[in-house]
Structure 1
Amino acid sequence: MAAKNSGAAAVPAAVSTPPKQARGTRGNSETLERLRANIGPLSTTMLRELENTLPWYRRLSADERSSLGLVAQNGVAAFVSWYEHPSSPSWVLSDVFGTAPTELTRSISLQRALQLIRTVVQVVEDRVPELAGAAGQVDLREAVLRYSREVAFAAADVYARAAENRGAWDTRLEALAVDGILRGENPDALQSRMSALGWTSHSRFTIMIGPAPAEANATYLATLRRAAGRFAADVMVGIQGDKLILVLGNVADPETAYVRLSELFAEGSVVYGPLAATLTDATASAQSAFAGMAAVRGWTTAPRPVSADDLWPERVIAGDDSARRALLANIYHPLVAASNGLLETLNSYLQLGHSLEAAARDLFVHSNTVRYRLRRVCDVTGWDPLVPREAFVLQTALVVGRLAAPPKQGPDRPAARG
């Protein structure tokens, strides 16, 4: 079934006659003449059998049926040439499948290709009494069986090579897609590239970054994809230098997934970015994760994995402006808007050694009032000032907020001129 590029389907290549010196001529001249004379009728019968016995063939478009019909007809013609000059599987591979196995494998699966071969062989085998005399029927049947074996092995070889080529191409395309997310490429072009990889998620993107193993071979990457596939609808893997990047889509149980997947990274810190609603947000999430990786060593007891948002203080100290903006947007500004003394109470509590009583005396209120306001701080920001690490995040947010606010003008200090 030779094929050459013709859009979506495979088109047969011209049948070439193998050199006669391969193994000499087999079969008697009478059988050969009958075979040559019946190529047309055999092809017609074969096409009718394809329609009658293969439901998937009937569901193909007219162009695809025509192209695959030509492929099957070429298989009949190739058998006649092979019967006259038996040759090696390499000849079967080039003469039946031609030079475009990729197009053939895109048209039909390996299972359907073998069904197609079986139909072609069955048609020839059923017509053996008409194609050979009594003395040549056994020889012709044996030739049909041997030919079917050669073609079946050739088909398996074609699909195996096509799978290897697709795997190599998919790996390159996957690396480009991951790099496009990190660099913030055009979302439409990036979505098209990801769709070519079979990516279906349009929201809930997560990026995990950690140390890559010394030898991230194909077996390791396959294991990583398989494990990630248990928790996410879509998975992409990228390796940049000593960093392993995992892009997940639609994670079902994030907390469990991050912990389990972090075990597949090499030894060291693993950081995951915030959940992203769109591809554009996924770029920001990836940048946060990379900033977190650069600053995570500042938190010596950081969990593995750790959220990039949990590293806001370290990221601010390291000069990450996105972390500064996040502290303002998520902590400082909400506290200012909440009023009711939350900002003042939090500041007193943090400045006076995390003491409820000292803060109450400083604010001239009861300690229960301080406790209530601190609970309100937790409700407004999501960070609990009674937990030491979270108190550090809140204190960093207060510092960032004060630095972001315009300086107050003293009574004897003239206002700056614009």
Structure 2
Amino acid sequence: MSTDSTDRSDRTGQQAAGDDDAVRAATVRRLERAMGDLGSAAVARMESRLSWFRRMSAEDRSWVGLVAQSGVAAFVEWFKNPERGRPAIAVEVFGTAPRELTRSVSLQQTVDMVRVVIDVVESQVDDLAAPGGQRQLREAVLQYTREVAFSSAKVYARAAEARGAWDARLEALVVDALLHGDREQGLQTWGSALGWSRTPVMALAGGLGEQDSESTLEDLRSAARRAGHDVLAGVQGERVIAVIGISENLSGDAAVLTASEPLAGLFGAGPVVVGPAVSDLRVANRSVRAAVSGLRAALAWPDAPRPVRAEDLLPERSLEGDTAARRQLVEEVYRPLRNAGSPLLDTLSVYLEHASSLESTARMLFVHANTVRYRLGRITELTGHSPGDGRGSFVLRIALTLGRLSEREE
């Protein structure tokens, strides 16, 4: 190629570039004049197309409208200065709205909003672009749309990450407050902030073992939520505590074990103890304390089921020093027998002292064996524990001892 040909080619390229710049500048002037109308048209179209936008509060609608206006303004500024490279959409567009707006507007709704704004601009490309600049403007709109999509995803990802970290800290605070009985008045508010709605409530306590704490907590949360429960979980040393808002599909006494059995396998090796169901989160500390007390005492009952109810560990908890367990044994086992009259208490005492022998008990009390059998049946009805059963006799013996000691204190 000759030098003259090269020079002519360079001049042609420079002239084309100059023409493009002139067309772009003319288009920018048109866009700047139309910015206000474009923003208003975008908001009006959102009103007509997006039902979720119409249901929003006036304040949130105004913020969304501001984001739409900012999006148009940022596009015009970027189109005016293409040498700036990629637009800083996260700052120029989403930075105008408060962080709380990401909780009012979902990512999908943001995508819908962006589509509406882009549709408004695209529908007016022929009028907005300077003669010969339609293709240039359309390509710029497509590129800007892609950048908005990426930036939207980043904004919501950061918000979700921050929300997750905040939730984890609040969750740990609630579990700690329940364990130590602090700030009961604020628990319901904290629970609401975490999306808590289920009642009744129970607690699970077990060991962490060799497992990773974060993965254990995440597995517990996922499994509980799949079952329809609310869940708060935290790790305290080598102990994992989960507070479960039981699904409305479960009810009655069996609900506690039904809800806890699928979760027990997610704890580390060793016992898993289930606290009693309570009415709501404000009094869940009773269930948490019972579960933790049971976990400490479960070592004394190697053959305990897994999970085991904290109420089934009342004797072990009493021997370990749990005053609430001692009180419960006296109230629920000893007092009903005492109120039923001395024959039942005398029969139980003699029966336990004589190796659960029906005949020996009858001889010592000078009654027929059938009378002893009848009284033992009444004891089972009143307490829920059978004197003839190994575990039942142990519970009754501890309750009888604690009851006698309590009589001395009264």
Structure 1 contact 25–85 (Cα < 8 Å) conserved: no
Q: Call closer, same or farther: CA 1:90–1:28 in 2, change over 3 Å.
A: closer
CA distance in 1, matches of 2:329, 2:352: 17
1:246 aligns with 2:248: no
Aligned to 1:159: 156
Aligned to 2:170: 173
SS state of the match for residue 189, structure 2? helix
CA distance in 1, matches of 2:54, 2:61: 8
- What is the identity, as a one-letter code, of the residue corresponding to 2:405? L
Alignment map for 1:8-407 (pairs within 5 Å): 28-86=24-82, 87-89=84-86, 91-98=88-95, 102-201=99-198, 203-216=199-212, 218-231=214-227, 233-250=229-246, 252=250, 253-279=255-281, 281-339=283-341, 341-406=343-408
CA offsets 1:72-97 (integer angstroms, 9 cap, x no match): 01111111011122345561221111
- What is the identity, as a one-letter code, of the residue corresponding to 1:286? V
CA distance in 2, matches of 1:237, 1:272: 14
Q: How many residues align?
A: 384
Q: Call closer, same or farther: CA 1:281–1:80 in 2, change over 3 Å.
A: closer
Deviation at 1:47, TM superposition (A): 2.0
- What is the identity, as a one-letter code, of the residue corresponding to 1:307? R
- What is the identity, as a one-letter code, of the residue corresponding to 1:137? Q
CA distance in 1, matches of 2:377, 2:276: 25
Q: Call closer, same or farther: CA 1:377–1:232 in 2, change over 3 Å.
A: farther
Structure 1 contact 184–280 (Cα < 8 Å) conserved: no
Q: Call closer, same or farther: CA 1:233–1:349 in 2, change over 3 Å.
A: same
CA distance in 1, matches of 2:21, 2:131: 20
Structure 1 contact 39–77 (Cα < 8 Å) conserved: yes
Q: Which moved more, 1:387-396 or 1:250-259?
A: 250-259
- For normalisation by structure 1, the TM-score amounts to 0.86
Sequence identity (%): 47
CA distance in 2, matches of 1:187, 1:152: 44
- For normalisation by structure 2, the TM-score amounts to 0.88
Q: Which moved more, 1:298-307 or 1:161-170?
A: 298-307
CA RMSD of aligned residues (A): 2.2
Q: Call closer, same or farther: CA 1:228–1:26 in 2, change over 3 Å.
A: farther
Aligned to 1:16: none
Deviation at 1:281, TM superposition (A): 4.0
Deviation at 1:218, TM superposition (A): 4.3
Structure 1 contact 232–248 (Cα < 8 Å) conserved: no
SS state of the match for residue 98, structure 1? helix
- What is the identity, as a one-letter code, of the residue corresponding to 1:338? A
CA offsets 1:264-297 (integer angstroms, 9 cap, x no match): 1001111122222344542122222222222211
SS state of the match for residue 271, structure 1? strand
CA distance in 2, matches of 1:114, 1:407: 71
CA offsets 1:165-222 (integer angstroms, 9 cap, x no match): 0000000011111111111123321111111001113x42211111115443544433
Q: Call closer, same or farther: CA 1:368–1:321 in 2, change over 3 Å.
A: same
CA distance in 2, matches of 1:346, 1:406: 20
Q: Call closer, same or farther: CA 1:84–1:240 in 2, change over 3 Å.
A: same
Q: Which runs of 5+ in 1 are unaligned?
A: 1-23, 409-418
SS state of the match for residue 328, structure 1? helix
- What is the identity, as a one-letter code, of the residue corresponding to 1:304? R
Q: Which moved more, 1:115-124 or 1:56-65?
A: 56-65
Deviation at 1:111, TM superposition (A): 0.9
CA distance in 2, matches of 1:362, 1:89: 97
Deviation at 1:41, TM superposition (A): 1.9
- What is the identity, as a one-letter code, of the residue corresponding to 2:93? V
Structure 1 contact 207–286 (Cα < 8 Å) conserved: yes
CA distance in 2, matches of 1:232, 1:344: 49
Q: Call closer, same or farther: CA 1:232–1:370 in 2, change over 3 Å.
A: farther
SS state of the match for residue 383, structure 1? coil
Deviation at 1:318, TM superposition (A): 1.8
CA offsets 1:112-133 (integer angstroms, 9 cap, x no match): 1111111111111111111113
CA offsets 1:39-70 (integer angstroms, 9 cap, x no match): 12212222221222112212222222222111
Structure 2 contact 184–283 (Cα < 8 Å) conserved: no
CA distance in 2, matches of 1:237, 1:336: 41
More helix by share: 2
Structure 1 contact 27–83 (Cα < 8 Å) conserved: no
Structure 1 contact 349–359 (Cα < 8 Å) conserved: yes
